[in-house]
Structure 1
């Protein structure tokens, strides 16, 4: 592994990856029991990333154990979900006895830090956080074979404070988990997905009560649960913390009535507007509804044709105005109708024809948008990944949806 600190005259750079794409800086930005995290930079794309190092020496790992940890961590490269930290690269450095993992960088830190900085939090905001965590767990648990995080805590969940986006991190440490749980009587033996549900319940309890709770040190949770002021929240958390054989799955929790929209305000911690984004708007970039809560699935169909008529979305519901913006490669046409406090959207992406092109590409995408949990930027980001949108079209798609939502939410507020 190259040491770039003196080769290019930049004293801040400690090393680069074997392929020369990532530069790691010297100063760590975080440290846990198993790993140290540094800020790094992707010089080819031009984005900041996180570079984690797991040392064999500091973790007292044999060579075989280090190989096992590397194998565990490399499974993260195969995961692709809006609520799971994206892993870009992972390799074992046998010369220095360590494993290197490069992932997304979340500048607002972990959920524990973020919650402690923002003590006035609305229950509605906690629900938004909870749904994102559950979507991530549902994705992991639905894989074949299912993936159990095994060490889910608020400091293993990361936040983008500018967008409200939440992602589960620190996966793939199955070999190291016995060290974490060696003194805990309740989690000896095999792990299954119910362990993650229990840990999620503790995360919820911590978000509401501001009392730090880790699965390894949580003997006081029954008493703390009684301090939850909201009856429905208390009942919801109790389901997660019940006996393992009675705990609901992440998918079942997403469909729980706890996530039904309430009309009355409900504050936690003494007030505040409860929104997650720094601008104070309602349009924080939360992940697109994956269909978990109500079982809806987004359908994407590609077809060649002209603009055509406006697509119909359901029947018997109040019609909502269409939003339309033209981008670099696509024109984005949004239409929606309301049902059960959710917006049932159809987005038509019309390809911008270029000289010599006779046919216009048309893509129709249906999805359910829950104002309590979903917003614009992550929708645009997911569409960008799915359809390889240009940066310009990604921004325009988000802007079109934001403009529509701002108008719609504003009209509701004035009613």
Structure 2
């Protein structure tokens, strides 16, 4: 495509429906970016959703926050039988938080509390920003695979993939390995508390480096696995912080802004 030089496939995204993602050079801007493609199942399906999809992506390109992977631009391609949306995003060269945790686990038993607090604060800052938009933007796909880390310790959440898009794409499939990140009220009650539940799972995985039962075997994580992992933590404020996020009733979960003032995270600056 004019304006881009392609290098290789990348696995930076863990979004249901992403058919392919390439590391590319934006020759106009002179920076490395990720070229993402979402292919829709049929033209009729796309036509019915096109205006809504364009509005969603237009809003995503307007997001400006230091802890959110930048959406540069997007466009639609309807020339083929199966239309697609192409969008260009910031390239996070150091990979996902999940990959970082796996590397860390080889050398240490636990992530230091100070690093955990710093990461939580950055993620909560991004969620607070998304949820304060009008209307609120729900991430809907927050896992340690969709949080990215830079070499300087800066973390950014990516893959803001609204549910309305995920349910209309060709390759949308459930990933049973990550089902425990999904809030109990999904999909009947889609709101900010759903992201808080997913964040709580991320905070638990960051604290323990791995949730019991969520190894490479791909086994489904149970409530017992989650409880065992929380019980294995030593810091009581850290436990309380995570348990508040994982309340079964969405109305009982604190907001991202409220969590920023929890004793376990408020002792740390971004």
- In terms of Rg, which structure is larger? 1
Alignment of 1:26-41 (within 5 A): 27-30=8-11, 32=14, 33-35=16-18, 36-41=20-25
User: 1:56 deviation in Å?
Assistant: 1.8
Q: How many residues align?
A: 242
| 176 and 228 in structure 1: CA distance in 2 versus 1, 3 angstrom threshold | farther
- TM-score normalized by the length of structure 1: 0.53
Which residues of structure 1 form unaligned runs of 5+?
Answer: 1-14, 262-371, 375-415
Alpha-carbon separation, structure 2, partners of 1:71 and 1:217: 36
- The equivalent residue for 1:196 is 195
Mapping for residues 12-411 of structure 1, pairs under 5 Å? 15-16=1-2, 20=3, 22-25=4-7, 27-30=8-11, 32=14, 33-35=16-18, 36-57=20-41, 62-64=45-47, 67=50, 68-96=52-80, 97-119=83-105, 120=108, 121-160=111-150, 162-178=151-167, 186-209=185-208, 210-211=210-211, 212=214, 219-220=223-224, 221-242=226-247, 243-261=249-267, 372-374=268-270
CA distance in 2: counterparts of 1:151 and 1:61, whole angstroms: 26
Q: Are 2:185 and 2:194, in contact at CA under 8 Å, matched by a contact in 1?
A: no
* Alpha-carbon distance change, 173 to 137 in structure 1, aligned in 2, over 3 angstroms: same
More strand by share: 1
- The structure carrying a bigger helix percent of its residues is 2
TM-score normalised by length of structure 2: 0.80
Q: CA deviation at 1:176?
A: 3.5
Taking structure 1 as reference, are residues 186 and 159 closer, same or farther at Cα in structure 2, changes over 3 Å only? same
- 8 Å CA contact 1:208–1:228 kept in 2: the answer is yes
Identify if the C-alpha distance between structure 1 residues 181 and 249 changes in structure 2 by more than 3 Å, giving closer, same or farther. farther
Task: For 1:72 and 1:130, locate their aligned partners in 2 and report how far apart those are by CA, in whole Å.
Answer: 26
> Root-mean-square deviation (CA), in Å?
2.8
- Equivalent residues of 2:35, 2:88 under 8 A apart: yes
Q: Which has the higher contact order (CA 8 A, sep 6+)?
A: 2
